[in-house]
Structure 1
Amino acid sequence: MKIPGAMEPVIRLSLRDRYFRDKILKPIIRAYALGYLSSVTPKLISYIRCLGNKNRSTKEKLQELAQVLAGPLRVKSFPTFCGALVGGSTILPILLYRLCAWVVNSCKGEIRNPQQTQRLVRFAAAFLSSWFSFQLLNKNRIISRQDTKARDSASSQHDFSRAPAETLERPCPELAGRTMDLTLFTVTRAADVIACIAWSRWRRHRNTQKRWTTVEALTPGLVDAGVFALSAAIVMWAWFYEPERLPRTYEKWIGGVAKVDTRLIEALRRCRRGVFVYGKDTGQASLLESMCRDFNWPEEWGDPAKTTPIPCEMVHMGCGPSCEKHALSRFVKTFKFACATYIPLQIVLRLRGMKSPAALSRAISDAAQSSAFLASFVALFYYSVCLARTRLGPKIFDKQTVTPLMWDSGLCVGAGCLMCGWSVLVEKARKRQELALFVAPRAAATVLPRLYDIKYQYRERIAFSISAAILFTCLRERPRMIRGVFGRITTSVLN
C-alpha cells in the first residue's frame, strides 16, 4: 500500500515521538523510580516499625510520613542522580554521534570501524554523564559531630549514613567521602565485568584449540567462592577488632547471628591490645570473672594470672567442653534462626509464581540451602577458633614459638575468619556470585578510609566515572556480562 506524500511528515513525527518515549524518556523515568524506591523503602520500613509508638500524635506521624516520602524528591538526591546518570548516558550518545558525523563529513572521510566508534562514543557519553552526576551527591555535604571526632582522631572510618539523627550537623567542606560506598560498589562491579570479559575470551580461545578442561569449567565458581571467603574474612576481622569500620546495621546483624557474650569479645580485643596478658595480674580478671559467675564456672577461669589460656568451655558459653558438640549446637541453632527468616521470605518473593506444590517445595528447599550456608558459616568460624587455639595449633607449633597469648591475640580469630567464608560452597553457583559481589564492596570499605581530605576527591570521581562508563557500555553491548540481580535490573531499566 502506497503512503500519500502528505502523510510522510506525520508518520516520521510519530516515529520520532515513539523513539523519544521508548529509548530516552522511559529509561530516565525507570531509573528515577528505582532510585526513589531504594531511598524510601528502608526509611518507610523503619517508620512502619515505629507506628505503634503512642508518645506521638497522629499529626506528628503524618508529618513524619510526608518527610519520608518527600525527602528524596529534592534536586540533590539519589533519585535525581540516577535519572541524570541514565539520562546523560542515553541522550549524550545521540549528540556525540552527530558531532562525529559532522566532523567526518567536514573532512570528507568515512568511519572505518563503526562498531569501535560506537563503543567509544557510548563510553565517552557514560563517562561524562557519571562525571557530572557524581557532583549531585557531593555538593554542599554536611558532616555530623560523630564524624568530626573520627576525623580528629585520624581514624576517619565512620559513614554519614551511620551518624545518629539527633547529632548536631554542621558544614565541613574540607572533608569528602560521602559516596564512598557507591563508588566501591561501582568499581567492584566494573572489575567483575572486566574479569568476565577476559575469562570469556580465554574460554573461547581454549575452545578453538580444543583444550578446555573440567577444572577450567569449575574455575568461575571457585573464584566466586574465593572472593566471598576473602571478603568475609576481612569483614569478620573488622567486626571483632574494628567494628567502627562497619555500617551499624551490618555490625548489629552479625552480632545477632553470632550470639556471643560481649565480655568474651572484649577479652580477645584486650589480648590484642596487650592489656589482657596471661601469667600476669594486669587488673583484667574482673571482666571474665563476672562471666564465670553467670555460667557457674570456677572464677579462676576468668583470671589470666591463674589460668592460661581461657578454657574452650568459656568460648562454648555453656555448651560443655566438647568443641565438636559446640560446633554442632551452633549449626542447629543458626539453622533454625535462618529458616525462620528465609522460608517466609522465599514464599513471599515467589508468591505470584507459586501455583503448584512443586513451587512451594522448591522455595522451601532454596531457603533451607541458604540456611545451611549461614549455619555452616557460624559453625566453621567457632570450630576453627577452637582448633587453632587449643586443639591443633599448640600441637603443630611449640608453645615457646607460638604462645597461648599469640593465639588469643589474633591468630585464632584469624583462623576462624579465613575458614568461615568457604561455607559458601554449600550454596548454588549462581548464589555464590551474588554473595561475593555483595560482600566484596563492604570488605573494601573496611580497608579504605570513609572520610578523606577533599583535595583527593578527584580520585574517587575518576574511579567512579570510569567504572560507571564500563558498566553502561557493557549494558548496551554485552548485558549478559553484568551478572546477578543487579545486571537484570539495570538491563530492564535501559531496555
Structure 2
Amino acid sequence: MPSTLSPAPKGPPPPSLVARWTRLLSSRIPENNSHPVQVAIRTYSLALCLSLVPSLIPFATSRASEKTSKHALKRLLAREFGLGGFAFSITLALGGGSLIRELWRALDDLDDSDAPETAARAAAAKLRACLSALNLSSAQKTFFSSVVSSSAGLLLLQAGRRRSQNTKSPSRDPSASRTLDLTLLCLVRAIDAAVQSFVARKSGSRRESDAEHPTHRAQTNKLASSLRREVMRTQIDSVVFWACSARIMWCFFYEPHRLPKSYVKWINTLAGLDPRLLDTLRAIRARKWSYRTGSPTHSHLLTTYARDLGHPASWGDPSVLPAYGGPQADQVWKELEVTTRPGVGGLPCQMVHGQVGSTLGLEHSCTANAGLRGSKVLLEAIAIYLPVQFLPVILSRPRTLLDPRRILASALGALRSATFLTAFVTSYWYSVCLSRSLILARLFPFISHDFWDGPYGCVLAGCLVCGSSIWIENGRRRGEMALYVLPRAVRTCLPDAWVRSGNAGVRLAERIAFVVSLSSLLTAASHYPHVLRGLSRWGLRFIIKGPNVVFWANNSPSSPKPSNVPSKTGE
C-alpha cells in the first residue's frame, strides 16, 4: 500500500504590494508628531485639499466647455502640483520653518568635547557661538526660523501665480497682486492673536497651570478672570463685525468691484433688488440722476422699472417726482395718484419695495416689506443652519443625538443663527424706510431726497444698523464671523490705485506683512496656543502638533505603536 505523504504546512501568504509600501513608509517617516517630515506631510495634504478641491468642482458640475476641457484640467493639475503651486509653496513656508528650527535645536545640542576636530565641526561651533551671542529665546528662534521659510514660500508662490496668470490671461492686469487676499487673511489672524493676548493680560487671565492643589480663592479668581476675558472678547468681536459689515454693505451698493463676486452674488440674493434700482443709486452718488435737476441720460432706468411693476412711468421720472417734502409734495402726489407718501418726497415706497407684498396688496407698507423679506430669509437660513448644527454631531458623536437635551440645544443654536441673519436683513430694510419715508424725511422736509436716497442717507443708515444684529449670535460664533469679514473689509479700504500700481513699495509692504504675520502665527501656535482661536487655532495646531501621519503603523503588527511626543511649551 503506497504511503501517503502529509502536505507541507503552508506559511503565511507573502505581503501584498500595498502592505510592503505601507511598512516601508511607516519605517521611514518619523513617529514624532512635531518632526519636520510630519509637519510637511500634514501641511501639503491640507493645502492641496484647500486649493485643488474647489478648483475641481466646476469640472464635476459644469457642462463641457473651454473652461472645463481636458486641456484646462491638465493645466490646473500642473499648476496645483507644480513647485510654484499653492500646496508646495505653503509647505515650504510652514514646513521649512520647522526644519530650520529642528536644525537650530540640533546645533544648540551639539557636543564636540570628545569628537575629533574637523572643518565642518569648526564651522558649526563658530555658527553656534554667533547665534548664542544673540541670546534669543525659544520663541524668538521659532519666529526667525519662520521668517526665513515664509519669505521663500511667498516668493515661490508669487512667481507661480505670475506664470499662471500670464499663461491663462495675458491681457489681465499683471500689476494686481494675486496673493493679497492670503496676506490680509494672515495679517488679520495675527492681529487677532495679539488682541487676544492683550485681552488675557487686561482681564488678569493666565493660561499657565495652577498649583497642584489650588485653593478655593484661586479657583474663584480664575473663573472671574475667564468671565472678564470672555466679555471683553465678545464686545471686541461684535464691534469689529458691525464695522466690517457696514463697510461691505456700503461697497455692495456703490463699489461692488471692491468685493469678490461671491460676496456680491450672495448679498444680492438676500437683498432681492432690481439691478436698475442699484444703478440709480450709483447714478445719484455720481450726480447723474437727481430729483432737483432731473437726469437726461439715466431717466429711463426707473421709468422702465415702474412700467414693469405695473405703475405709471412717471413714478420713476426724476423730473416729475418731488425733491422735497411738505405741501408741495402732497400736490405732486395728488397729480400722480400716489396716496402712500403724504408729507415726503422722493421715490414712492412701491418702487423701492418692488413686488414684495404685492399679492397681499401690501406693496406700499414698509412694515410688511421688512417682515415678509425677513420671513423668507428665516426659512432659508433655518434650512442652511440646521445641517450645519447637526452634521458634525452625526459624523463625530451620533450617540449624543439620543439625548433630547442635545437635540434641543442644536436646534436652538440653528434657530439663533437663523434669527441673526433674519435680523440683519430686516433691520437694514426697516432702517431705510425709517430714514427716507417714516421718520427722518418727515422731520426734515426741507432736505432734498438727493440726500435721503444718496450714499449718506438711507443706504448709510441701513448699513450702520444691520451689523448690530450680531449681538443676537452666540458669543463664540461672533469671533469667527468677525474674522471672516475683516480681511475683505480691510481690502475695500485700500486704495485701488495703490494696490494695482504694482510698484516696488507695494510688493515690499505686502511681503513684509505676510512674512511677519505668518511667522507670528506659527510662533503662537508653537508657544502660545491660547492666543489663537477658531480655524487658525485648529489649522495651525493640526499642522504643528496634529495627529500622527503614520496612522497605518497602528494596524501593522511589525511596527511599533507610534507615540505622540508633544512639544514642550518652551520648545
What is the TM-score when the length of structure 1 is the normalising length? Answer: 0.82
Partner amino acid, structure 2, of 1:25: V
Which residue of structure 1 lines up, in the alignment, with residue 434 of structure 2? 387
Q: Does 1:120 align with 2:143?
A: no
3-state SS in 2 of match to 1:372: helix
Query: Which of residues 73, 79, 87 in structure 2 aligns to 1:79?
Result: 87
Instruction: Answer yes or no: is the 8 Å Cα contact 1:224–1:432 preserved in 2.
Output: yes
Which residue of structure 1 lines up, in the alignment, with residue 412 of structure 2? 365
Distance 1:280 1:18, change over 3 A: closer
User: Following TM superposition, by how much is the alpha carbon of 1:271 offset from its aligned partner in structure 2, in angstroms?
Assistant: 0.7
Which residue of structure 2 lines up, in the alignment, with residue 259 of structure 1? 272
**Identity, % of aligned positions:** 30
Which residue of structure 1 lines up, in the alignment, with residue 514 of structure 2? 464
Distance 1:217 1:364, change over 3 A: closer
Provide the C-alpha distance between the structure 1 equivalents of 2:87 and 2:231, rounded to a whole number of angstroms: 39
User: Following TM superposition, by how much is the alpha carbon of 1:385 offset from its aligned partner in structure 2, in angstroms?
Assistant: 1.2
Matches for 1:278-293 after TM superposition, within 5 Å = 278-283=291-296, 284-293=298-307
User: Following TM superposition, by how much is the alpha carbon of 1:390 offset from its aligned partner in structure 2, in angstroms?
Assistant: 2.0
Provide the C-alpha distance between the structure 1 equivalents of 2:65 and 2:542, rounded to a whole number of angstroms: 41
Query: Which of residues 312, 323, 330 in structure 2 aligns to 1:298?
Result: 312
Distance 1:195 1:99, change over 3 A: same
Which residue of structure 2 lines up, in the alignment, with residue 316 of structure 1? 353
Q: Does 1:37 align with 2:86?
A: no
Instruction: Answer yes or no: is the 8 Å Cα contact 1:278–1:307 preserved in 2.
Output: yes
Instruction: Answer yes or no: is the 8 Å Cα contact 1:141–1:171 preserved in 2.
Output: no
Which residue of structure 2 lines up, in the alignment, with residue 409 of structure 1? 454
Instruction: Answer yes or no: is the 8 Å Cα contact 2:189–2:536 preserved in 1.
Output: no
Query: Which of residues 485, 491, 495 in structure 1 aligns to 2:541?
Result: 491
Query: Which of residues 378, 399, 421 in structure 2 aligns to 1:374?
Result: 421
User: Following TM superposition, by how much is the alpha carbon of 1:300 offset from its aligned partner in structure 2, in angstroms?
Assistant: 2.2
User: Following TM superposition, by how much is the alpha carbon of 1:347 offset from its aligned partner in structure 2, in angstroms?
Assistant: 3.9
> How many residues in Structure 1 have an aligned counterpart in Structure 2?
452
Distance 1:168 1:298, change over 3 A: same
Matches for 1:121-200 after TM superposition, within 5 Å = 121-139=141-159, 141-142=161-162, 168-169=169-170, 175-200=175-200
Instruction: Answer yes or no: is the 8 Å Cα contact 2:291–2:318 preserved in 1.
Output: yes
Distance 1:106 1:47, change over 3 A: closer
Instruction: Answer yes or no: is the 8 Å Cα contact 2:241–2:485 preserved in 1.
Output: yes
In structure 2, runs of 5+ residues without a counterpart are 1-25, 110-124, 207-216, 323-345, 358-362, 546-571
Which residue of structure 2 lines up, in the alignment, with residue 452 of structure 1? 501
Deviates more, 1:310-319 or 1:430-439: 310-319
Q: Does 1:96 align with 2:94?
A: no
Provide the C-alpha distance between the structure 1 equivalents of 2:196 and 2:230, rounded to a whole number of angstroms: 13
In structure 1, runs of 5+ residues without a counterpart are 1-13, 145-159
Residues 222-260 of structure 1, C-alpha deviation per residue, up to 9 Å, x if partnerless?
210110111111111111101111111221111112111
Partner amino acid, structure 2, of 1:416: G
Distance 1:171 1:279, change over 3 A: closer
Which residue of structure 2 lines up, in the alignment, with residue 354 of structure 1? 398
Which residue of structure 1 lines up, in the alignment, with residue 381 of structure 2? 338
User: Following TM superposition, by how much is the alpha carbon of 1:453 offset from its aligned partner in structure 2, in angstroms?
Assistant: 2.0
Instruction: Answer yes or no: is the 8 Å Cα contact 1:143–1:170 preserved in 2.
Output: no
Distance 1:472 1:140, change over 3 A: closer
Provide the C-alpha distance between the structure 2 equivalents of 1:460 and 1:119, rounded to a whole number of angstroms: 24
Which residue of structure 1 lines up, in the alignment, with residue 7 of structure 2? none
Provide the C-alpha distance between the structure 1 equivalents of 2:527 and 2:228, rounded to a whole number of angstroms: 29
Instruction: Answer yes or no: is the 8 Å Cα contact 2:84–2:160 preserved in 1.
Output: no
3-state SS in 1 of match to 2:394: coil
Residues 267-309 of structure 1, C-alpha deviation per residue, up to 9 Å, x if partnerless?
1111111011103332233211212112222332211111131
Provide the C-alpha distance between the structure 1 equivalents of 2:128 and 2:147, rounded to a whole number of angstroms: 26
Distance 1:228 1:88, change over 3 A: same
Which residue of structure 2 lines up, in the alignment, with residue 149 of structure 1? none
Which protein has the larger Cα radius of gyration, Structure 1 or Structure 2?
2
Instruction: Answer yes or no: is the 8 Å Cα contact 1:140–1:171 preserved in 2.
Output: no
Residues 193-228 of structure 1, C-alpha deviation per residue, up to 9 Å, x if partnerless?
0111011111118999x8979877523212101101
Provide the C-alpha distance between the structure 1 equivalents of 2:173 and 2:284, rounded to a whole number of angstroms: 37
Provide the C-alpha distance between the structure 1 equivalents of 2:471 and 2:85, rounded to a whole number of angstroms: 39
User: Following TM superposition, by how much is the alpha carbon of 1:64 offset from its aligned partner in structure 2, in angstroms?
Assistant: 5.5
User: Following TM superposition, by how much is the alpha carbon of 1:413 offset from its aligned partner in structure 2, in angstroms?
Assistant: 0.8
Distance 1:56 1:465, change over 3 A: closer
3-state SS in 2 of match to 1:453: coil
Partner amino acid, structure 2, of 1:321: H
Higher helix share: 1
Deviates more, 1:428-437 or 1:483-492: 483-492
User: Following TM superposition, by how much is the alpha carbon of 1:363 offset from its aligned partner in structure 2, in angstroms?
Assistant: 3.9
Matches for 1:469-488 after TM superposition, within 5 Å = 469-488=519-538
User: Following TM superposition, by how much is the alpha carbon of 1:105 offset from its aligned partner in structure 2, in angstroms?
Assistant: 7.2
Provide the C-alpha distance between the structure 2 equivalents of 1:44 and 1:485, rounded to a whole number of angstroms: 23
Partner amino acid, structure 2, of 1:428: N
Partner amino acid, structure 1, of 2:198: A
User: Following TM superposition, by how much is the alpha carbon of 1:262 offset from its aligned partner in structure 2, in angstroms?
Assistant: 1.1
What is the TM-score when the length of structure 2 is the normalising length? Answer: 0.72
User: Following TM superposition, by how much is the alpha carbon of 1:95 offset from its aligned partner in structure 2, in angstroms?
Assistant: 2.9
Which residue of structure 1 lines up, in the alignment, with residue 238 of structure 2? 225
User: Following TM superposition, by how much is the alpha carbon of 1:140 offset from its aligned partner in structure 2, in angstroms?
Assistant: 5.8
Residues 348-401 of structure 1, C-alpha deviation per residue, up to 9 Å, x if partnerless?
4433123325455544433332222111111111111111222222245x344x
Provide the C-alpha distance between the structure 1 equivalents of 2:159 and 2:76, rounded to a whole number of angstroms: 21
Partner amino acid, structure 2, of 1:196: Q
Instruction: Answer yes or no: is the 8 Å Cα contact 1:271–1:405 preserved in 2.
Output: yes
User: Following TM superposition, by how much is the alpha carbon of 1:99 offset from its aligned partner in structure 2, in angstroms?
Assistant: 5.2
Provide the C-alpha distance between the structure 1 equivalents of 2:393 and 2:387, rounded to a whole number of angstroms: 10
Instruction: Answer yes or no: is the 8 Å Cα contact 1:143–1:171 preserved in 2.
Output: no
Provide the C-alpha distance between the structure 2 equivalents of 1:362 and 1:47, rounded to a whole number of angstroms: 39
